[in-house]
Chains A and B, each alone.
Chain A
Amino acid sequence: MRRFGRFWWDFVVGDDWVAAAGVAAGLALTALLAAWWVLPLAVAVVLAATLVRATR
């Protein structure tokens, strides 16, 4: 069961949980503001954050 959960965690979340958490936050903020520009902005921030973490 634990291995099964681990497999799905690795499959969906991958190497960096920040990307998944950032996407969830971006979608929640988009739903809150109902504004189309929120998600592209969130993606830019999340991508930058995950790249900085990978190259530190």
Chain B
Amino acid sequence: MALSELLILIVITLSLRFGLGLRPRARGLILMLASILAIFWLQPTTPVRFLDFWLPVATLFITIGSWLLTAEPDQKRSHANLVTLALVTVTVLLIALTRYLGLADLLGGIRPPQFGQVVIGTAILLAFSWLVARLSSSKKFWLIGGIIFLLVLFVILKTPIMALAGSIVLRGLVGQSLASASPLDIRWLGFSYVAFRLIHTLRDRMSGRMPQVSLQDYLTYVIFYPAFSAGPIDRLPRFIKDLQQPLILFSPQLGDAFYRLAVGIFKKFALADSLALLALNSQNAAQLESIGFSWLMVYAYAFLIYFDFSGYTDIAIGLGQLLGITLPENFNRPYLKTNLTQFWNNWHITLTQWFRAYFFNPFTRSLRSKYRALSVGWIVLITQLSTMVLIGLWHGVSWNFVLWGLWHGLGLFINNRFSDWVKPRLSSLKMQPRTQRGLDVLNTVLTFHFVALGWIWFALPSVPLSLGVFARLFGLAG
């Protein structure tokens, strides 16, 4: 997102705050409608014709489908929820009409298709939603089906060859040249985070922990625009609690919001964008000659990714605060932590918590109960490796992300085993505070370097290129 777009978003959000202050009862509705408009506005244009219109529509109807799977039958039939569904449909149709009113530029670069096509497409999606509502129940079968659907979609989008096939199919549908198809054609803004939120609600519904919420609140939670494209991944019960709190127009939260926005803008647009000029990337990785400056470029990448991502989080939290929603923190000085476990407890916190809740913990419990003979060490190794590889694959299905996951999985395993081994030995030493501080500094430096070197896998597109950078850094390149 460009700085100018962000400033527009801040002004709109501030106006919304005052609007919400004047009409507290309509808060949920206004936030939902604003979020719907925002996901169309934020959606990048796509080379495949009209896809930039249909992707936000798909986000909306997948969310509606997910709500239908989690809702009780009486909720599905309630008047309020039907009104919400009608409002969403009308909003989509109105957005489609911007094509004829010369207002398409108001919604960014997207170009809606002809109105007739939108009516037919929306009718098909509504019919599909109706079928889901009629046939489904909140039984495990349907909920698992919903999760599998989301995962399949996710794998298609993140696997280059499948994304390419998807692009070819879509291009064929709209009669565009198949020769120019590319895996990058399907730029579905925010889908990764939407999928996380939806899987969270489906999974919690299975375990009976999900509160019953209206379609309006559910939609607002899933597509809440400050956190739509880059998180944080909030939890539904916490989000709804904030949504139901009254919004006080002039409160310390307003000052906090501006502080977070200012910090976020500085991190993203001053620090991260500057570091991007010198950070390691796929182009310069193959050109490196100097060892010392290569290290500097790896450090630059480590700080680039931190300032970029934590800057976006600050902006999301600031925008959320303007609207009276306190989104969860995602970063807590991760590079100052003394070991890798602590690093992961403080880096992209909501993602790690999600994986811990929905994969790591259940998987660990399952291994412990099914394979009682398996030692603790093996269980730690298997669960850490699989969790981190999955987190890697979430970023994209490629060998480099697998290796990045393995790097951290192994690091966490070694850290876990080493901590267990060293703790009793160190406690008997009764170290001086100064020695302890020195050891902490050393551990922090080591942890930072482990993470920074791990970013080489993450930043580059291929294994040989990454190995070349490692060789250069350690003076092994010719």
Q: Do A and B actually bind? A: no
**B interface residues (Cβ-Cβ under 8 A, vs A):** none
